A and B are shown apart, each in its own frame.
Chain A
Amino acid sequence: MHDTHDTHGDCGCDGDEAEPSAATGEGAVADGGTAAAPDSDAATDGGTATETGGDFEPVDVFEGSEMDLRPGADSCYKCTSCDTSCPVAEVDDSFPGPKFQGPEQWRLKRKEDTEVDDSITGCSNCMRCDSACPSDVPLSQMHNTARGEYVDNQMDKLSREYLRNRILANYGTLAGIGSKVPRLTNAIMGNSLVQKVNEKLLGITAERDFPEFADQTFRSWWKQRGGPKVESEDKRIAYFHGDYANYNTVEVAKALVRVYEAFGYEILVPDQRCSGTPMFANGMLDDARRSAAVNVENLGDAVEQGYDVVASCTSCSMALRQEYPELFDFEGTERVAANTYDALEYLLINENVIDPIRAVDGDQLDLPDFAYHAPCHSRNQGLDRQAVELFRHLDGVNVEDVGDSCSGISGTYGWKEEKYDYSMEIGEEMFEHMEHAEGETGMTECPTCSMQMEHGTGYEIDHPLQVLEAALVDTDVEI
């Protein structure tokens, strides 16, 4: 009922670009064919309203006084806590660390007209420095802004690196196309020759296996099933699935639907675009702005109608809650941020989840023990403990926290040929802890962390929502 619009065709964020779009331009055709289909219908999507006269007014990130980060820079007292917690600085000798990227660089920039240091491209946008800073210096906002400025002003738009980053950042575009012929795409992308070509031509590491596309996207499943099965006046959520749960880990999105419906929620699946996380991380702020505009408008409408926004990916919820208000000023940005939650978090606040979990006989369930990794973006929201603490109440299933190290992949970071080794070195501690943990199945909320966990250990990885589904939906426990 609410959702009649399948987004596959219209998520090409770049269709209106004057310059050749990374994902559709000539250079990309060589990457094994996934981007070969021109997304000519992209210009009809809602995300380009700045140009086509929509009613939101994005504020320019770099001009004007809004983005004067000087006051933030001034509150830095150089304690270096941020440097201590930066996983990249710990392994990459060429990376000067968040204190330099953030307050020092901003102070320099305000004094003289210096250009952004190119080391900013070394930052993986894990945002760990943010939560480490005792003085609330807006580090990740500074990094995001500097990265955007760097890409805009200093990066060669025809360079291989730019092209590669653009492709990685706009994963949803590729996915939208690839998922139309999932089996073919899986076959092509799984081909090692194609991977070698990707590495040679584009600098996308051949070490990693491309995530497989599901046979059916979540949105098409949702449409086919006829939308929500539960109606409710007062328990309503708008689900932000993001690209990954739509195209790849569709079972996570389905688990969310089943769990939330079991708790009596009416679910809306609004039209949406990529949350923007990979775009922020690559300094593609124009792309991110276009996505954000669509998301803020559609989610804002939902909030208006009494829905709370719920995301199953912690980087998505992070983007909506923190990065949007820090970087954009669309009408309703703050309102969407204040009404957005992580899927598990929202249930824990609003429902009694613990008693039903306690009532389940875990030994009867066909569930393994788990090695749980908290994604940096869940840690940053203070959500790093919720899964272990919840599943403590599930008898017979052991969920063990494998420690606070970053998984190392950080979205697109670990896909870059030149970062791959660092990415694995950062992840090493997590891999070791996983091997030592009792469980031989992994658990995490983040799709790319999940890739890295699988890549480093060979374990299968589940989302907490899938465990909740198994415990609460697939049993006859009373909710």
Chain B
Amino acid sequence: MAIEADVVVVGGGLAGATAALSAARDGAHVHLISANESTLRQASGLIDALGYPNPDGDDADDAGTDAAPGPLADPFAGIDDLPADHPYRIVGADALRAGLALFDDAVGDLYRGGHTDRNALVATTSGRAKPTARYPRSMAPGLVSDDRATLLVGFEAATDFDAPLAADRLAAVGVPFDVDGVTVEFPGEYRADAAVTRLAHALERDEDAGEGRTSRQRLADRVRPHLGDAERVGFPAMLGDSQVEAVRADLSERLGAEVFEIPTGPPSLPGIRLADRLFDALDEAGVSMTTGTPVVDHETDGDGDIVRVYIDRNGAEIPYRADAYVLATGGLVGKGVDSDRDGPVEAVFGCHVPAPDDRMAWSEEGAFADHAFARFGVEPDDRLRPVGSDGSPEFGNLFAAGGVVGGADVAREKSASGVSLATGLVAGRSAAEEG
């Protein structure tokens, strides 16, 4: 016997979650399996669709600052400029639109940006303006298109956000507002390297921070003298966990200025909130989930269809059976694509990953240059089935989504989440048809 479902999704990142939701909405009973806690917990929480379809120059520092050829105001407008084997070209702009709609529906009031096709520009901790399609509600008052005077506040404890530097950079980019930055000490006594979750927890619970004042009271006291004319105040995204809106409202009132969050690197509270919300949506859609257990093996039948996959549960191999499978294990970083002496290979099912024979051709100079490796991934047919070197599907019932699909350079294009949403939607749909 085995644990049974119509569709098994392998991978618990954004692509896996989208594919599972998409298949479940088409009536399939879905089982989602993820090797680790969702990678979304590290992600910034921003949902990029397409910011730079064809950027020239390889200097990342310029990205987002100069005009041509980006940042794109309308991500959909850039799709035709992408290479023909780009996942957006394969699934089409409508799939991106439907993927975003599925996302909007799943996350509800946690996110903003669904009212328009256009990209928003969100200020990042490094003082850049990043084009993105959807952003957490807690970041909404911080958009760069808004012209209200702004104060950025960093904490001595959270060293990866240098607020004065970020403010200088934003000013240098020519944002349409006055911006200043200040670093304050986090109120209360915490160890120097306290976990962000510890500090977020303190703000959320409004803990006693000494001298008879709470952490929010003291935080407001410390920021107030630096306010000047600022009408909005940006903090790194650690204003509480599930009660971020309450924390924001309270701080806004105390400061008399609208408080917002700035996306940070991992660990990321907006990422954690997003993961929690998406997993709630999956639960509501009746999706079964197993986390912390990698898929390590599979079995096929005579027709080349997958009949079972096996997960490793602390030493025991547990079989899962479904009619169709979605591969959503991420790219080189997410461990979906492995590389050995002979070249890159898809890590779970061993699907073909096209790559130049000459290893020297895998990368160019410069971090954000047009590297071949950045586009590594399985080659999909129009239903998103990975194909072998002969162009025919590797398995009749395996569909791929997200970072494991080749052809996109998501870091450079600023398209990671959009690619996951669009391909996740289509892969989930194709799998449900099979099931």
Stretch at the interface among B54-62, B185-193, B414-422: B185-193
Q: Does B369 contact A (CB under 8 A)?
A: no
Q: Does A97 contact B (CB under 8 A)?
A: yes
State how many angstroms separate the Cβ of A225 from the closest Cβ of chain B.
Answer: 29
State how many angstroms separate the Cβ of B151 from the closest Cβ of chain A.
Answer: 27
Q: Which residues of A contact B189 (CB under 8 A)?
A: 93
A131 touches B288 (CB 8 A): no
A321 touches B290 (CB 8 A): no
Within 327-355 of A, Cβ neighbours of B (below 8 Å) are at 334, 337-341, 345, 348-352
Q: Which residues of B contact A80 (CB under 8 A)?
A: 195-196, 266-267
Q: Does A64 contact B (CB under 8 A)?
A: no
Q: Does B176 contact A (CB under 8 A)?
A: no
Stretch at the interface among B33-41, B103-111, B354-362, B382-390: B33-41
Q: Does A434 contact B (CB under 8 A)?
A: no
Write the chain A residue with the least CB distance to B279. A404
A81 touches B37 (CB 8 A): yes
Stretch at the interface among B127-135, B213-221, B314-322: B314-322
Stretch at the interface among A205-213, A272-280, A375-383: A375-383
State how many angstroms separate the Cβ of A317 from the closest Cβ of chain B.
Answer: 8
Q: Which residues of A contact B311 (CB under 8 A)?
A: 382
Q: Which residues of B contact A339 (CB under 8 A)?
A: 316
Interface string of A296-316 (1 = CB under 8 A from B): 000000000000000000000
Within 73-93 of A, Cβ neighbours of B (below 8 Å) are at 79-81, 83-86, 89-91, 93
A81 touches B267 (CB 8 A): yes
Write the chain B residue with the least CB distance to A94. B191
Q: How far is the CA of A378 from the CA of B306 in the complex (A)?
A: 29
Q: Which residues of A contact B3 (CB under 8 A)?
A: 348-349
With A80-B267, A86-B195, A90-B197 as contacts: A318 and B288 at CB distance below 8 Å: no
A392 touches B286 (CB 8 A): yes
Q: How far is the CA of A334 from the CA of B315 in the complex (A)?
A: 8
Q: How far is the CA of A81 from the CA of B37 in the complex (A)?
A: 10
Q: Which residues of B contact A89 (CB under 8 A)?
A: 194-195, 197-198
Choose among A84, A134, A341 the residue that contacts B196 (Cβ–Cβ < 8 A): A84
Q: How far is the CA of A152 from the CA of B289 in the complex (A)?
A: 41
A84 touches B267 (CB 8 A): yes
State how many angstroms separate the Cβ of A99 from the closest Cβ of chain B.
Answer: 9
Within 376-404 of B, Cβ neighbours of A (below 8 Å) are at none
Interface size on A, residues (CB 8 A): 46
Q: Does A121 contact B (CB under 8 A)?
A: no
Q: Which residues of A contact B67 (CB under 8 A)?
A: none
A321 touches B42 (CB 8 A): no
Q: How far is the CA of A348 from the CA of B318 in the complex (A)?
A: 10
A133 touches B195 (CB 8 A): no
Q: Which residues of A contact B196 (CB under 8 A)?
A: 80, 84
Q: Does B68 contact A (CB under 8 A)?
A: no
Q: How far is the CA of A86 from the CA of B288 in the complex (A)?
A: 25
Q: Does B148 contact A (CB under 8 A)?
A: no
Q: Does B313 contact A (CB under 8 A)?
A: yes
With A79-B42, A382-B290 as contacts: A85 and B313 at CB distance below 8 Å: no
Q: Does B126 contact A (CB under 8 A)?
A: no
A322 touches B292 (CB 8 A): no
Choose among B201, B288, B319 the residue that contacts A389 (Cβ–Cβ < 8 A): B288
A382 touches B316 (CB 8 A): no
Q: Does A325 contact B (CB under 8 A)?
A: yes
Q: How far is the CA of A133 from the CA of B294 in the complex (A)?
A: 13
Q: Does B172 contact A (CB under 8 A)?
A: no
Q: Which residues of A contact B184 (CB under 8 A)?
A: none
B313 touches A84 (CB 8 A): no
Q: How far is the CA of A351 from the CA of B291 in the complex (A)?
A: 22
Write the chain A residue with the least CB distance to B317. A338
Q: How far is the CA of A97 from the CA of B194 in the complex (A)?
A: 8
Q: Does B167 contact A (CB under 8 A)?
A: no
B191 touches A338 (CB 8 A): no
Q: Does B9 contact A (CB under 8 A)?
A: no
Within 92-106 of A, Cβ neighbours of B (below 8 Å) are at 93-94, 96-97, 100
Interface size on B, residues (CB 8 A): 38
Q: Does A384 contact B (CB under 8 A)?
A: yes
Q: Which residues of B contact A134 (CB under 8 A)?
A: 36, 39, 42
Q: Does B65 contact A (CB under 8 A)?
A: no
Most buried by A among B41, B196, B292: B292
Q: Which residues of A contact B288 (CB under 8 A)?
A: 385, 389
Q: How far is the CA of A341 from the CA of B267 in the complex (A)?
A: 33
Q: How far is the CA of A381 from the CA of B195 in the complex (A)?
A: 25
Within 166-218 of B, Cβ neighbours of A (below 8 Å) are at 189-191, 193-198, 201
Q: Does B227 contact A (CB under 8 A)?
A: no
State how many angstroms separate the Cβ of B368 from the closest Cβ of chain A.
Answer: 20
Within 128-170 of A, Cβ neighbours of B (below 8 Å) are at 131-134
Q: How far is the CA of A355 from the CA of B196 in the complex (A)?
A: 45
Q: How far is the CA of A454 from the CA of B319 in the complex (A)?
A: 36
A83 touches B267 (CB 8 A): yes
Q: How far is the CA of A93 from the CA of B289 in the complex (A)?
A: 33
A83 touches B191 (CB 8 A): no
Q: How far is the CA of A85 from the CA of B288 in the complex (A)?
A: 22
Write the chain B residue with the least CB distance to A100. B193
Q: How far is the CA of A352 from the CA of B288 in the complex (A)?
A: 16
With A84-B272, A94-B191, A133-B36 as contacts: A349 and B197 at CB distance below 8 Å: no
Q: How far is the CA of A352 from the CA of B42 in the complex (A)?
A: 38
Interface string of A44-76 (1 = CB under 8 A from B): 000000000000000000000000000000000
Q: Does B293 contact A (CB under 8 A)?
A: yes
Q: How far is the CA of A250 from the CA of B195 in the complex (A)?
A: 41
B292 touches A84 (CB 8 A): no
Write the chain A residue with the least CB distance to B318. A349
Write the chain B residue with the least CB distance to A340. B316
Interface string of B56-99 (1 = CB under 8 A from A): 00000000000000000000000000000000000000000000
Q: How far is the CA of A97 from the CA of B198 in the complex (A)?
A: 11
State how many angstroms separate the Cβ of A319 from the closest Cβ of chain B.
Answer: 10
Q: Does B2 contact A (CB under 8 A)?
A: yes
Q: How far is the CA of A132 from the CA of B291 in the complex (A)?
A: 10
Q: Which residues of A contact B318 (CB under 8 A)?
A: 345, 349
State how many angstroms separate the Cβ of A418 from the closest Cβ of chain B.
Answer: 17
Q: Which residues of A contact B266 (CB under 8 A)?
A: 79-81
Most buried by A among B41, B290, B315: B315
Q: How far is the CA of A313 from the CA of B129 in the complex (A)?
A: 51
Within 370-421 of A, Cβ neighbours of B (below 8 Å) are at 379-385, 389, 392, 401, 404
Interface string of B257-285 (1 = CB under 8 A from A): 00000000011000010001000000100
B1 touches A318 (CB 8 A): no
Binding site for B on A (CB under 8 A): 79-81, 83-86, 89-91, 93-94, 96-97, 100, 131-134, 318, 321-322, 325, 334, 337-341, 345, 348-352, 379-385, 389, 392, 401, 404
20 A-B residue pairs with Cβ-Cβ distance under 8 Å, sorted by A, are A81-B37, A81-B41, A81-B42, A84-B41, A84-B195, A84-B267, A90-B195, A93-B198, A134-B36, A134-B39, A321-B313, A321-B314, A339-B316, A352-B1, A380-B292, A382-B290, A382-B291, A382-B292, A385-B291, A389-B289
Q: Across the A-B interface, give the 10 residue pairs with the lowest CB-CB distance, nearest first.
A: A84-B267, A321-B314, A382-B293, A337-B315, A131-B292, A382-B292, A83-B195, A322-B314, A382-B290, A89-B195
